[in-house]
Structure 1
Amino acid sequence: MRLVIARCSVDYAGRLSAHLPSATRLLLIKADGSLSVHADDRAYKPLNWMSPPCSLKETDDVWTVTNKAGEQLIITIEEILHDSSHELGVDPGLIKDGVEAHLQELLADRMEVLGEGWSLIRREYPTAIGPVDILCRDAAGGTVAIEIKRRGEIDGVEQLTRYLELLNRDSLLAPVKGIFAAQEIKPQARVLALDRGIDCVVLDYDALRGIEDDKLRLF
């Protein structure tokens, strides 16, 4: 990863055009080729960016980032205050918090709460874009991918959608249905999930542990 702090102006030329006047900003260039322009606010959100695959050409005081669609981010450098590169190595990925990990373990051990005849194929089923929390079979023998969250939001539905798209390319597994499971599911996430044919299950942590009634609510 390369970190550059510079006084610069930025112009985007593509389907639309945008201009950032001269100011001191952080330019973040990642190993995947992406480049993002950050100010000292807006939390993690960049002012502008170019997603990979793209190429960076540095000529004199002008950086030109071009993506596969021919769109360009043109950065005019006035002064570089800092320029450093760092090798971060392979990232192990996000580790779920204790509640999510335990929910996954409990549900995998008690597949029958989803219905009679349900059976586990594997926890943390590997895919090219990350592991699926639970891959299982329903009573009819169909393949089901389950994404588990403590709090179910739109990002989780998007994540499961990507898994389903990939899993359904495997002729040995397809067709693969999806279940979005969480202790609490936000209304917007539920609407998006149901629109995409994904079932929603509200998990009761205590019930799965056998403390209370062990019925799950399937919507």
Structure 2
Amino acid sequence: AYKPLNWMSPPCTLKEGSGDEEGVWTVINKAGEKLIITMEEVLHDSSHELGVDPGLIKDGVEAHLQELLADRIETLGEGYTLIRREYMTAIGPVDILCRDGEGQTVAIEIKRRGEIDGVEQLTRYLELLNRDPHLAPVRGVFAAQEIKPQARVLATDRGIGCTVLDYDALRGIEDDKLRLF
């Protein structure tokens, strides 16, 4: 099957013709090459005012998850208290540092998609944090909206807990599915 190719790779500019050139569009790429489109007949032409462009906002990024979990730290268990978000270490910040109900320090690494590299990152943080006598012993929790099976196996093998985060529940939005309990 023949598939036409578009050789006009971006960035391109579009010039609409006027006067005698009405109905002619000229597309010019950065190399100066031109694609000229001539419209023989216009069957319908309309425009609609859509108002101000609201822009796009990415929902559920790691920063949102971190902020929501820090505000609702009790989601991880009874008695959890926040020490600090973005707790700095020599190799970068741990997303959340907190204490559990028994007073043990817990380092939490948050990801949207929990994969092996996130577990490796948390492992490095734990190694550094456990050297600090004011914090040790520090255990880890790998928290994500979705945790890949390989990441869960690696985390479990290293004694790191795994928690699946429900973004809507953290935001306080009820699930619209019917349930008995």
Indicate whether the TM-score tops 0.5.
Answer: yes
What SS does structure 2 have at the residue aligned with 1:197?
coil
2:106 is aligned to 144
- Structure 1: 5+ residue stretches without partners: 1-96, 214-219
1:129 is aligned to 91
C-alpha distance in 2 between matches for 1:212 and 1:152? 24
What SS does structure 2 have at the residue aligned with 1:103?
helix
Which structure shows the higher strand fraction?
A: 1
The 5-angstrom pairing of residues 1-219 of structure 1 reads: 99-212=61-174
Q: Which runs of 4+ in 1 moved over 6 A?
A: none
Report Cα offsets for 1:45-94 as digits up to 9, x if no partner. Answer: xxxxxxxxxxxxxxxxxxxxxxxxxxxxxxxxxxxxxxxxxxxxxxxxxx
TM-score (norm 2): 0.63
TM-score (norm 1): 0.52
Amino acid paired to 1:165: E
Amino acid paired to 1:134: I
What SS does structure 1 have at the residue aligned with 2:117?
helix
Which structure shows the higher helix fraction?
A: 2
C-alpha distance in 2 between matches for 1:98 and 1:140? 30
Report Cα offsets for 1:98-140 as digits up to 9, x if no partner. Answer: 6110000000000111111100000000000000000000000
Q: Is the 8 A contact 2:116 2:151 kept in 1?
A: yes
What SS does structure 2 have at the residue aligned with 1:177?
strand
Aligned-pair RMSD on alpha carbons? 1.2
Name the % identity.
87
What SS does structure 1 have at the residue aligned with 2:139?
strand
What SS does structure 1 have at the residue aligned with 2:126?
helix
